[in-house]
Chains A and B, each alone.
Chain A
Amino acid sequence: MSSGTLYDKVWELHRVAELPGGSTQLFVGLHLIHEVTSPQAFTALKEKGLKVRCPERTIATVDHIVPTASQDRPFSDPLAEEMLCTLEKNCATYGITLYGIGSGKQGIVHVIAPELGLTQPGMTVACGDSHTSTHGAFGAIAFGIGTSQVRDVLASQSLAMKKLKVRRIWVGGELKPGVYAKDLILHIIQKLGVKGGVGYAYEFAGPTIEALSMEERMTLCNMAIEGGARCGYVNPDSKTFDYLKGLPNSPKDKAWERGVAWWETLCSNKTAIFDDEVNFDANEIAPTVTWGITPGQGVGINDNLPTLESLDSRERDIAKEAYRYMELQPGMPIEGLEVNVCFIGSCTNGRLSDLQAAAKIAKGKHVAKGIKAFVVPGSEQVAKAAKQEGLDILFQKAGFEWREPGCSMCLAMNPDRLEGNQISASSSNRNFKGRQGSSSGRTLLMSPAMVAAAAIEGKVTDVRKMLAQQSKDSKK
């Protein structure tokens, strides 16, 4: 059993009581809600005659269903409009802050909470969305919940949960140019499997992790759930504190100093005991692309797709199914595979640094003929900051569409979707069958820079070659 880890410390601080059945009642420090998984929770609350216990500890935004081309109300999709109206009504009824469209603070829930300073070290963070693991980047214990649990958190500011084991994922070495946090997490999931993390919280540690920016750490923790781990986290450090300083909800003045002093005590002890430990070498990681129908089915850009014989016997059935669905053959190279649609955005890779990395590739180039490419900033704040740098113009000149913030084609609950068996190069997090809105649509997950490279070339491309060419050109 783990002890002395950040996870253990935060768990202990929030432990309210032990419940019959071996669950723990855990206090929830920050509750985030959106339009998809909250309406039924509010209905259940009404049916039970309950109130929202701490309306000030719940923050709402709208992200999944918002169109990204035009956000004028009412939305052209009446179901989407009904969902937003319901959220607005519920938030007004119960006194919950809603960051709606045009507020300057709207965006994907896992983008806005960090940028507003709502997510802080040592908190428990819950949201009816599996990618809540993102917030672990700050040294919070953050996890996705179902709608019944959203109801429970609204009613009691707590939920019933079983304590997880803790696996430390130690990463040493250096991510080379053209290799990003996205490649690191795709590589980790490929090695540990999509169910390897079931029952675990992932602690990401080591020199490579310490060198990551906060936005990169968010990308990493965001996809812990794709490896089966309900939450992933990084111990807070000076980068965490620098990011938080001065944000609207960060503590101020003396409270800031006290806050930092407390946050520093939360880190896993040097003598901490983990239930499991795994090591990775970042030097070995290449830009990584998924070829299948689970996020664990990835390969390095220079590798060929695995033959069935080379796979563990337990992986073969799903690999066969993936080859059939994706219309790809074992042994073929991933580099050079033609794509139709290129999507840059999502809670995984829709932050400013993601757009900057993609813009670096797109600058002065043009999207290949016949390719639909679009950029969806993760929030209104990201959009504003990107525009200040002229990224919207840069992308548009390069033939990308520049959109309004939302979840967009990550899950296609809005007009952005694949058609027929189109293949997308996507900076999102899931390549499940049908995920991007077409029941035969195909998704290749990769970093935003790799998506930009695919858009320019019209096919899966090693972004390192383009970066090398750029640096050669700049020396001329």
Chain B
Amino acid sequence: MRKETIPFPKGEIKAVFGHCLVLRGDDIDTDRIIPARFLKCVSFDKLGSNVFADDRKEMRGKHPFDHDLNRQASILVVNENFGCGSSREHAPQALMRWGIRALIGESFAEIFYGNCLALGIPCATASKEKISKLQTHITENPRNTFELNLMSQELFNKNHKCSIEIQAGTLEMLTTGRWDATSQLIARNDCLKEIASKLPYLNNFKGHQ
């Protein structure tokens, strides 16, 4: 487990700093990120230490999440379709509580992507070639720290630069601090009432013959 704790995402998110952690493989599902037995809880608090519990057990200390040099990492670099499978928000919660504050990958599963956004964790994408080069660079230079800059859409330090992409909408929500949707949703009370008043199945199907 990492020694220092950094605060959870809050407000405007324009950049994430720190070490990068490489986790290779396509189709890494949320059952692997946090096995179901750890979902037996009524709060997310204790999930961090159990992230990738079974994969780590299987690799006996050689899993990237167990490497000494990775223990301060805050940016996770993955491959294709990361986070597929179950909708469990426990997966990004476990990553966040372990210390991850941003992900970069070839692609992400949809529900996982949305769950990350709801926590203020950007999921940036880059081409297979770029990710491959980036993963190699990080593996060869594990002590380097990076800045993931959302505004300029790049991951860089003084030796290396990699352009990344963030969906326009996601970018706007994160950088303006409006990624926590609840307040926006409850603000539109009149619109909600109007929609409900028009939905046939909420109104005994009146007017339909």
How would residues 11 to 54 of chain A score, 1 for a CB under 8 Å from any chain B CB and 0 otherwise? 00111110111110101010000001101100100001010010
B192 touches A432 (CB 8 A): no
Flag the segment in A99-107, A178-186, A194-202, A449-457 that touches B. Answer: A194-202
Option from A40, A65, A261, A434 in Cβ contact (under 8 Å) with B208? A261
B191 touches A17 (CB 8 A): yes
A413 touches B40 (CB 8 A): yes
A430 touches B115 (CB 8 A): no
CB distance from B34 to the nearest CB of A (A): 11
How would residues 84 to 96 of chain B score, 1 for a CB under 8 Å from any chain A CB and 0 otherwise? 1111111010000
B15, CB-defined interface residue at 8 Å: no
A130 touches B181 (CB 8 A): no
B209, CB-defined interface residue at 8 Å: yes
On chain B, the residues within 8 Å of A262 by CB distance are 200-201, 205, 208
On chain B, the residues within 8 Å of A432 by CB distance are 29, 31-32, 85
B87 touches A144 (CB 8 A): yes
On chain B, the residues within 8 Å of A86 by CB distance are 42
Q: In the bound complex, how far is the Cα of B90 from the Cα of A440, in angstroms?
A: 22
A37 touches B88 (CB 8 A): yes
B206 touches A146 (CB 8 A): no
Residue of chain B at shortest CB distance from A315: B26
B184 touches A25 (CB 8 A): yes
On chain A, the residues within 8 Å of B178 by CB distance are 20-21
Option from A48, A199, A321, A411 in Cβ contact (under 8 Å) with B110? A199
Flag the segment in B5-13, B70-78, B151-159, B169-177 that touches A. Answer: B169-177
Number of interface residues of A (CB under 8 A): 82
On chain B, the residues within 8 Å of A65 by CB distance are 40
Residue of chain B at shortest CB distance from A129: B87
A413 touches B115 (CB 8 A): no
B140, CB-defined interface residue at 8 Å: no
B111 touches A434 (CB 8 A): no
On chain A, the residues within 8 Å of B195 by CB distance are 13-16, 27
Residue of chain A at shortest CB distance from B119: A148
Residue of chain A at shortest CB distance from B118: A148
A37 touches B87 (CB 8 A): yes
Q: How large is the interface on B (under 10, 10 to 19, 20 to 34, 35 or more residues)?
A: 35 or more
Q: In the bound complex, how far is the Cα of B82 from the Cα of A318, in angstroms?
A: 13
B201 touches A120 (CB 8 A): yes
Q: In the bound complex, how far is the Cα of B155 from the Cα of A349, in angstroms?
A: 46
Option from B168, B186, B200 in Cβ contact (under 8 Å) with A22? B168
Q: In the bound complex, how far is the Cα of B184 from the Cα of A43, in angstroms?
A: 19
How would residues 214 to 257 of chain A score, 1 for a CB under 8 Å from any chain B CB and 0 otherwise? 00000000000000101000000000000000000001000101
Option from B54, B84, B90 in Cβ contact (under 8 Å) with A433? B54
How would residues 13 to 55 of chain B score, 1 for a CB under 8 Å from any chain A CB and 0 otherwise? 0000000000001110101100111011111100000000011
B149, CB-defined interface residue at 8 Å: no
A21 touches B87 (CB 8 A): no
CB distance from A12 to the nearest CB of B (A): 11
- Enumerate 10 A-B pairs (CB-CB under 8 Å) in ascending A order: A20-B176, A20-B178, A23-B181, A25-B185, A29-B202, A40-B44, A146-B115, A194-B84, A262-B201, A430-B31
Q: Which 10 residue pairs of A and B lie closest in terms of their CB atoms, listed nearest first?
A: A22-B169, A148-B118, A146-B115, A258-B205, A146-B89, A439-B54, A21-B169, A144-B87, A156-B185, A39-B42
Extra contacts besides A37-B87, A432-B31 (16): CB < 8 Å:
A20-B178, A23-B181, A40-B89, A83-B40, A129-B87, A130-B111, A160-B181, A160-B184, A194-B84, A195-B84, A230-B110, A261-B205, A294-B84, A411-B36, A432-B32, A433-B31
B-side interface residues toward A, CB under 8 Å? 25-27, 29, 31-32, 35-37, 39-44, 54-55, 57-58, 80-81, 84-90, 92, 107, 109-111, 114-115, 118-119, 167-170, 172-173, 176, 178, 181-182, 184-186, 188, 191-192, 195-196, 198-202, 204-209
